[in-house]
Amino acid sequence: MKTTLVSTMLLAFAGFAAAQPTQLAQEVTRQLQALPNHGVFDNLNYTVDGAKVTLFGQVANPGLKTSAEKAVEHIAGVSSVDNELQVLPGDVLDNDIRAGVYRKLALALQPGTAIHIVVENQNVTLAGSARTEGDKNLAGILAHGEPLVTSVTNDLVVAG
């Protein structure tokens, strides 16, 4: 059984049993959400296929790639971890774009959104969830309005 989950999902943890794939996925989610260096500029995802966990997405902090793998490999019931996380380049221009988009979204959107801002080579990807279709559209417009942004991919899902 193969399960795909986004680490920003809020899943209830109710007693972990290694033999249950759903519970294994819940524990992976819990461990990844607990990472202190996981933030808004990271798009950290995973799949669970039996006892194998595959990490994928993009991270701004190189240390997060390593700490995510270590957090997951110690979970009871995980036999292997395939770490396909991409470390984003530490480009100054991309960092400025991240900060600018973050500021705009923080000022304009209601609390309760779980948006991740991924910037690579001046291309912005918005991942996660927005409260409404209007918030989703506004996030895309605001990100596109940030100076020096080449393109915006709005992968936000409307929660609810």
> pLDDT for 79-130, tens place per residue?
999 999 999 998 999 999 999 999 999 999 877 778 999 999 999 999 999 9
Place of tokens 């984003």: 88
In the chain, CATH 3.30.1340.30 sits at: 92-158
Q: What pLDDT is attached to residue 107?
A: 93
Distance, CA of 95 to CA of 77 (rounded, Å): 38
pLDDT band at 21 (very low <50, low <70, confident <90, very high): low
Q: What pLDDT is attached to residue 22?
A: 83
Taking domain 2-87, whether its CATH number is 3.30.1460 is answered by: no
Taking domain 92-158, whether its CATH number is 1.10.3720.10 is answered by: no
pLDDT band at 46 (very low <50, low <70, confident <90, very high): very high
Question: Residues in the chain, how many?
Answer: 160
Report which secondary-structure segment, H or E, holds 6.
strand 2-6
Please indicate, yes or no, whether the overall pTM of this predicted structure exceeds 0.85.
Answer: no
